[in-house]
Every structure is written in structure tokens, then in C-alpha cells.
């Protein structure tokens, strides 16, 4: 394990205020390699794959699978992060001579984790090994069922660590002290691809980039789609992905460019991947990334473009339905969208949360079960809410800012009652939410905050306004009263005033 940061050394190395260095450590950027990746975000400073927990065991098993000619199925997750992670892992496994299958369970009919239909498909195809991406980290029952069918399971995930892990090899960057706290599922997959390329092919990271630039484009798309903080390693992956996209666009991007008559913007690429649909065990969101035939891609992209338009129109219509249910927002919003397609729940929850800036829970249905997506504003841990309600759920997980759950429909009255009870007793102020409280701000502190903001690090500070220190740093806001308590954030390199409290 790498030693923890020595404050005196790092103050010299990074010229950072001690209190802000402490905040970085609390946020999980607490090793020299992570600090280096944060302050010098170049591909050469991507944290080495060997620091990913359990990766050595993964490589040992992969070597055995290769020797024993095992048949592998990559188990994905039905969103852009999951699709891109699936494609990354498939591509690198193919370089070793594997011919992996893949399976992406439908959120609408199968939910999250190792669903029964997918396990039956794996067994029917004589699969020996399932490797998950972006999913499965809390699916204890699914793993046990897979093992009972004779399937070996390796979990790769990036969501929060549950209290009980599945009894199998679990690769999650949040294990062992919270390293790599911000990687998306596809970021984990890329780290594994780098490890495989290094161990089996003798490739450096730069060689992997030159040989398989599409992996970095996939990582860019999945990372942006998953809305993880674009700092530290994610900022490196974004820069590398954008460069690869411009210099070595993948096949589907070239075909798309010809079809629309211009180089596609990133938001269209994300929408194109996200709006795919199941076709038997396959998914068009994954096939779009793996297909090489221009003719097949042309047909696939045309259907996807039509799907993007339909998704946007339907999403906006459903969003208006959701907003029409809101009468008087309280400390949270609970919206029941009944039988809509669950793939719209996250979109609705995110948009409503952005509009009202309060925790938002949006419910849907999957057969006899309720499924839900939860989105939280800065400072609210959605998993703290779900942990308190866990006895109602058949499954749950996710991030602090974005999570989800499923439960029997019969538990809906209890859910409504217990959510209300939770928020009635939930008392927090800005002092509990901000990353740092400073009574006497200095120009050095503000300069460091702006510097961190330019590197993608979001830090919220409660302090007092002093005109001689702040000057014109808030040009778009009315100047606060002298000495007023204010909440500000590092934003994207320009300090943002969030709220003016009492003087």
C-alpha cells in the first residue's frame, strides 16, 4: 500500500493551503499518485493499474482462463457507462484470443444485477465465466445462483461498497480505503484493459493508446455520461478521450459524421449510445461500439438517431408530467410515475433535482416491483437515506449523488411513511454540508480554490465576505454585506457565490 500524504512535503510539492490539502484527503485524493494526477492531469500521471485492488488476482485468473480455453461472458449494465465498459472489456479480451459473449439485462424487465434470464442464457451458451462491468457489487444472491449453475463470477464495479460483499472476486476502486474515489465503471474497465495489455502483451499505457485509441473514446463517453466529477483521473481520461476522438475517431463516429454532415458533438454520441434497445441477448448500445461494417453501422445509426429523437420527446413529455405533480416542494420530492419505462426515471429525477435543488425520488414499476431512481444535491448522501430504508428493499445501490432501489409494490405505503419520517428528523445546516469553514479568508485561499476549480475539484466553503479580499471575484452577483457569512464553491476555476447567510 502507498503511504498516506505527508502534509509538509505536499505543501512544498503543490503549493496548496494546508486546510485545502486536508479537504482533498477527506475527498479520497490521499496518496501521492492521486495528488500528482490531480495537479498534473496528463496521461503519464494516470495512477498505475497495479494500485487497483485485487487486480493481480484478476490477471492470474485470466491467465488460467486462457490456458483452459474458458468461455467468457461480459455482463453489462443498461446505461452508457455500462455499454462502454462492456465494449472496453470485450475489445481487450479479444486481443488475448477470447471470443467473449456479452449480456445486458433490461432495467424494465430484469432490474439490476445477475438476473435469472441472463444466467440461463449464459448456461445455454456453455459459458464458464461471467465478468461484470459497472454492476453486481452488492448482488450476493445473484452471485450464489450463478455459482450454483457452475459459473465462475468476477465482479467489477465502482459503486459504493455494501455492508456485505458477494462471495467472489470483487474489483472495486472504492475498496481498501477508498482509492480512486471518482472513476466511472468504464474507468475501472480501462484500468483492467491497461493491466491486461501490460501483463499479457507487454504494452505501456501509451502503446495501448496508440494501438487501441477507441478504448479511450469509449471511456470518455461513459465517464461523461455517468456524471462523475471530472477531476483527478477522470480529467486525464477526458483529455485523452477527446484527443483520441479527434485524431482517431472510431468507426461508428466516422459513419455518423457522414450521415449528419458534420463531426458529432459529444452530447449526441452519449445520447446515441444511451438510447439503444435490447435485441435478444444483445444491445444496440454495445453493438454500435463493436461493429466495424460501414453498412451495418449505417443502418444501426439510423435507428439510433430515430431512437434519440423519440427518447428526447418522450423524456420531455414525461418530465412535464412529473413537474405537474409537484404542488409545494418541501425538503424532498417523491414522484410516482407509475408504469413508464424505467429508463426515463433517472432522467426525470436528475432534471427535477436540478430545478428544485432538493433530494428527488422518482418511482416506476417493473412487474410486481417498484423501481426508483434517487438524485441528490450537493451535501446530501442519497445512500444514507437508502440505508435507513433498506429493510423495505429487495435491492439498492449507487453513489451519494445518484442511486436507485427496487422493492415489492406492497411496501409503497411504508415507503411514503418512512421517507417522511426520515426527512422530518433530518437536520443539517451549511456547517454540516460544506467541505471547509474559514472565519478569516485570505487571498492565498481564494487563489488556491480557483486553481483547484480549474482542475475540476469542487470544494464548498463557508466563510465571511471581506471586500478587501474578494474584490470583484463575484461580478455576476450583488455584493454581499461586509462581514456576511457566505457559501461559495470553487466551481470551474471561477469562484461561485452560492448563498449569502445572515451577517
pLDDT in tens, 297-354: 999 999 899 888 888 899 999 999 999 999 888 889 999 999 898 889 999 999 999 9
The pLDDT value given to residue 2? 41
Question: Which class is 325-427 in CATH?
Answer: alpha beta
Inter-residue long-range contacts of 333-336, CB under 8 Å, 24+ positions, other chains counted? 333/358, 333/359, 333/360, 333/361, 334/361, 334/363, 334/416, 334/419, 335/360, 335/361, 335/362, 335/363, 336/363
C-alpha cell at 258: 457522414
Rounded Cα gap, residues 441 and 426, in angstroms: 30
Q: What is the CATH number of domain 49-248?
A: 3.90.1640.30
A 10 A CB-CB count for 490 gives 25
In 3-134, alpha helices (H): 7-14, 18-26, 32-39, 55-67, 80-94, 116-124
18 within 8 A of 213, measured Cβ to Cβ: no
* Contact partners, residue 274, CB within 8 Å, separation at least 6: 79, 80, 83, 225, 285, 311
The ranges of the chain with pLDDT < 70 are: 1-12, 111, 177-180, 503
Q: What is the pLDDT of residue 430?
A: 86
> What pairs with residue 404 in β-bridges?
373, 397
| Predicted TM-score (pTM) of this structure | 0.89
Q: For residue 480, give the C-alpha cell.
A: 454581499
φ/ψ (deg, to 5) at 166: -60, 150
Task: Give domain limits for the chain.
Answer: 7-31, 49-248, 325-427, 432-500
Q: Which residue is it, cell 452508457?
A: 80
φ, ψ at 464 (rounded to 5°): -115, 140
- Residue 121 neighbours by CB distance under 10 Å: 17
Amino acid at each position: 500500500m502507498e503511504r498516506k500524504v505527508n502534509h509538509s512535503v505536499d505543501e512544498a510539492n503543490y503549493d496548496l493551503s494546508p486546510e485545502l490539502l486536508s479537504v482533498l484527503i477527506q475527498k479520497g485524493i490521499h496518496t501521492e499518485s492521486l495528488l500528482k494526477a490531480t495537479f498534473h492531469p496528463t496521461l503519464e500521471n494516470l495512477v498505475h493499474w497495479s494500485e487497483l485492488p485485487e487486480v493481480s488476482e484478476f490477471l492470474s485468473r485470466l491467465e488460467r482462463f486462457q490456458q483452459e480455453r474458458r468461455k467468457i461472458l461480459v455482463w453489462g449494465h443498461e446505461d452508457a457507462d455500462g455499454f462502454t465498459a462492456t465494449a472496453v472489456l470485450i475489445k481487450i479480451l479479444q486481443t488475448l484470443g477470447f471470443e467473449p459473449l456479452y449480456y445486458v439485462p433490461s432495467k424494465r424487465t430484469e432490474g439490476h444485477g445477475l438476473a435469472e434470464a441472463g444466467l440461463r442464457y449464459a448456461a445455454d451458451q456453455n459459458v464458464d465465466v461471467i465478468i461484470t462491468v459497472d454492476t453486481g457489487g452488492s448482488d450476493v444472491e445473484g452471485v450464489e445462483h450463478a455459482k450454483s449453475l457452475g459459473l465462475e463470477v468476477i465482479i467489477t464495479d465502482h459503486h459504493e461498497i455494501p455492508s456485505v460483499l458477494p462471495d467472489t472476486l470483487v474489483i472495486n476502486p472504492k475498496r481498501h480505503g477508498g482509492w480512486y474515489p471518482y472513476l466511472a465503471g468504464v474507468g475501472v474497465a480501462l484500468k483492467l484493459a491497461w493491466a491486461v495489455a501490460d501483463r499479457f502483451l507487454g504494452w505501456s499505457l501509451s502503446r495501448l493508446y496508440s494501438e487501441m485509441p477507441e478504448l479511450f473514446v469509449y471511456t470518455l463517453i461513459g465517464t461523461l455520461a455517468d456524471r462523475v466529477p471530472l477531476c483527478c483521473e477522470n480529467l486525464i481520461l477526458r483529455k485523452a478521450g477527446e484527443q483520441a476522438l479527434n485524431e482517431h475517431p472510431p468507426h461508428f463516429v466516422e459513419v455518423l459524421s457522414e450521415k449528419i454532415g458534420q463531426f458529432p458533438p459529444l452530447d449526441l454520441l452519449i445520447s446515441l449510445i444511451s438510447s439503444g434497445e435490447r435485441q435478444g441477448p444483445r444491445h444496440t448500445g454495445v453493438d454500435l461500439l463493436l461493429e466495424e461494417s460501414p453498412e451495418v453501422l449505417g443502418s444501426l445509426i439510423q435507428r439510433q438517431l430515430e431512437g434519440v429523437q423519440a427518447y428526447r420527446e418522450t423524456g420531455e413529455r414525461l418530465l412535464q408530467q412529473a413537474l405537474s405533480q409537484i404542488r409545494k416542494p418541501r425538503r424532498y420530492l417523491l414522484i410516482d410515475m407509475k408504469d413508464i419505462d424505467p429508463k426515463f426515471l433517472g432522467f426525470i429525477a436528475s432534471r427535477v433535482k436540478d430545478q428544485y435543488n432538493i433530494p428527488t425520488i422518482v418511482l416506476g414499476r417493473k412487474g410486481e416491483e417498484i423501481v426508483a431512481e434517487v438524485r441528490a444535491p450537493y451535501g446530501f448522501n442519497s445512500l444514507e437515506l437508502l440505508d435507513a430504508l433498506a429493510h423495505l428493499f429487495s435491492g439498492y445501490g449507487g453513489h451519494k449523488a445518484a442511486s436507485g432501489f427496487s422493492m415489492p409494490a406492497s411496501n409503497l405505503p411504508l415507503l411514503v411513511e418512512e421517507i417522511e419520517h426520515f426527512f422530518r428528523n433530518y437536520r443539517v445546516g451549511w456547517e454540516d454540508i460544506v467541505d471547509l469553514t474559514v472565519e478569516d479568508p485570505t487571498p492565498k485561499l481564494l487563489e488556491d480554490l480557483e486553481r483547484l476549480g480549474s482542475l475540476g475539484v469542487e470544494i464548498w466553503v463557508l466563510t465571511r465576505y471581506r471586500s478587501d479580499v474578494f474584490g470583484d471575484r463575484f461580478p455576476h452577483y450583488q455584493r454581499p454585506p461586509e462581514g456576511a457569512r457566505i457559501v461559495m464553491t470553487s466551481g470551474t476555476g471561477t469562484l461561485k457565490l452560492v448563498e449569502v447567510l445572515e451577517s
